[in-house]
């Protein structure tokens, strides 16, 4: 019997991600496939849903709306003084940072630009508002360990280390 993707499986994927125009915007590289724990929201919900029940070795195409991907676009990027960040913070474009509002709620931002004096922060994930077109091959599948289920992510090669 071929193994199929269900909750609490650690799944290894090779993938190509294209935008609406067919342009490749991301892909797994040879030798470093994506490892995730199914059912733990490690990947965008629309892709996770469409991978449910897919067998090892299968390739699927999955189209994911912004609502089930990285969300619709909200608000605009803005420049803020570099001095708002700790002096020793290592900042780089593409990084996600978390600010707190005056009620202590977490507000995630993505850094899109840095100068000596300013940092440009965008509340949108770089792929917010995009319909995502995935082509995904399930390379391997195994049962997650109790520790992985408890942590909500896979351990081991290509996964999360700590
Ligand atoms: Zn862990």
The pLDDT assigned to 11 comes to 97
Domain with 19 in it: what CATH number? 3.10.50.40
Q: Residue 160 domain-assigned?
A: no
158 Cα to the center of ligand 1, angstroms: 13
Distances from the Cα of 71 to the Cα of 136, 155, 158, angstroms: 21, 27, 26
The boundaries of the domain holding residue 55 are 9-70+128-151
Matching residue, tokens 């949108």: 124
* pTM, rounded to two decimals: 0.81
123 Cα to the center of ligand 1, angstroms: 27
150 Cα to the center of ligand 1, angstroms: 8
**CA dihedral (38, 132, 12, 126) positive or negative:** negative
Within this chain, do residues 65 and 90 fall inside the same structural domain, yes or no?
no
39 Cα to the center of ligand 1, angstroms: 15
The pLDDT assigned to 88 comes to 87
Domain with 89 in it: what CATH number? 2.40.10.330
Q: Residue 1 domain-assigned?
A: no
Low-confidence ranges of the chain (pLDDT < 70): 1, 157-162
11 Cα to the center of ligand 1, angstroms: 15
Residue-averaged pLDDT of the chain: 92
């Amino acid at each position: 019997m071929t193994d199929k993707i269900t909750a609490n499986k650690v799944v290894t994927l090779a993938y190509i991600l294209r935008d609406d125009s067919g342009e490749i915007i991301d892909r797994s590289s040879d030798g470093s496939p994506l490892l995730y724990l199914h059912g733990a929201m490690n990947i965008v919900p629309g892709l996770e849903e469409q991978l449910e029940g897919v067998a090892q070795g299968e390739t699927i195409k999955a189209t994911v709306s912004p609502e089930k991907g990285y969300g619709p676009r909200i608000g605009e990027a803005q420049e803020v003084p570099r001095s708002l960040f700790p002096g020793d913070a290592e900042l780089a474009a593409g990084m996600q940072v978390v600010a707190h509002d005056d009620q202590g709620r977490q507000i995630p931002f993505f850094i899109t630009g840095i100068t000596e004096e300013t940092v440009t922060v965008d509340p949108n994930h770089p792929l917010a508002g995009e319909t995502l077109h995935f082509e995904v091959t399930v390379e391997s599948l195994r049962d997650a360990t109790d520790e992985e289920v408890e942590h909500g992510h896979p351990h081991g090669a290509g996964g999360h280390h700590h």
